[in-house]
Amino acid sequence: MVRWVSANAPRSRQRAVGPSEIGVDCMRRLAYRYAGAEPVNTAADPWFAFVGTAVHENLAIAIDRYNAEVLGPPNGSRDYGQRRYWVEERVTAGADQHGVSGSCDLYDADRHVVIDHKVVGATALKKYINHGPSNQYRTQIHLYGLGHAQAGRPVREVAIAFYPRSGYLTDLHVWSEPYRPQIAHDALRRATTVRQLAAALPIGHIPAHADQVACTWCPFYRPGGPADTTGCPGPG
Ligand code: SF4
């Protein structure tokens, strides 16, 4: 049942490329998405993603209750214009038909901070504490920042809250930096280039950034054989 619900989750069936994908290091992986390729690496264990989704859903409930029951009116209002914390607000970054849309985990309307939740394992948590977020995560949060800003809401800072998948709430690590729209604009420009390459070149000619760990989680990873429309051998 867990495998079925994971395979049929809206995110798994998502056709449009979203803010979480644009900043991926591997251009070829992004090109597969723009080319509309079907995922072939479907054997990956869905548990981490399942846990992540469950935590996101419960955080949304917790923040909504906090708005309504602790901050009180008008924060509990259904009118988001009256609230301090905006949960899962749909935003679009980019002005043309190639803009990317997604649900932003949290916006603090008092402090003008855009926040993304990530649920991570112990090794990854240590890495993010020591080295900061990946390009992909950083790009994603700045794209949400751009989306909120383009919708007319002030954005001063972006943040990623890393929650331990196995650990305590006291292990929570929050990374933040000032909002820099240029990061989002650069990512959108790169995505346009990849989209054009995907339309013009065989997929195997598009530069790849093969990484043993990242490739394992790539939906198009198919060890053995050449890189073609049916999959990519990754580091092999
Ligand atoms: S398998 Fe690795 S190299 Fe190939 S497209 Fe995916 S991330 Fe890129």
2-216 CATH pick, 3.30.980.10, 3.90.320.10, 3.40.50.920, 3.40.50.720: 3.90.320.10
Q: How far is the C-alpha of 203 from the C-alpha of 137, rounded, in Å?
A: 25
Atom number, ligand 1, closest to the C-alpha of residue 214? 7
Tell me how far the alpha carbon of residue 102 lies from the centroid of ligand 1, in angstroms: 23
Closest C-alpha residue for ligand 1 atom 7: 215
pLDDT > 70 in the chain, percent: 95
Tell me how far the alpha carbon of residue 40 lies from the centroid of ligand 1, in angstroms: 12
Tell me how far the alpha carbon of residue 202 lies from the centroid of ligand 1, in angstroms: 15
Average pLDDT over residues 7-20: 79
Residue-range domain boundaries for the chain: 2-216
pLDDT > 90 in the chain, percent: 74
Q: How far is the C-alpha of 57 from the C-alpha of 18, rounded, in Å?
A: 19
Tell me how far the alpha carbon of residue 216 lies from the centroid of ligand 1, in angstroms: 8
Q: 140 to each of 40, 125, 167, 200, how far by Cα in Å? A: 24, 18, 25, 26
The tokens describing 218, both together, are 């790539």
Q: Can you give the pLDDT at residue 98? A: 74
Q: 134 to each of 112, 137, 236, how far by Cα in Å? A: 23, 5, 23
Q: Taking the model in full, what pTM does it have?
A: 0.93
Average pLDDT over residues 204-209: 94
Residue 24 pLDDT > 80: yes
208 within ligand 1 shell (Cβ under 6 A): yes
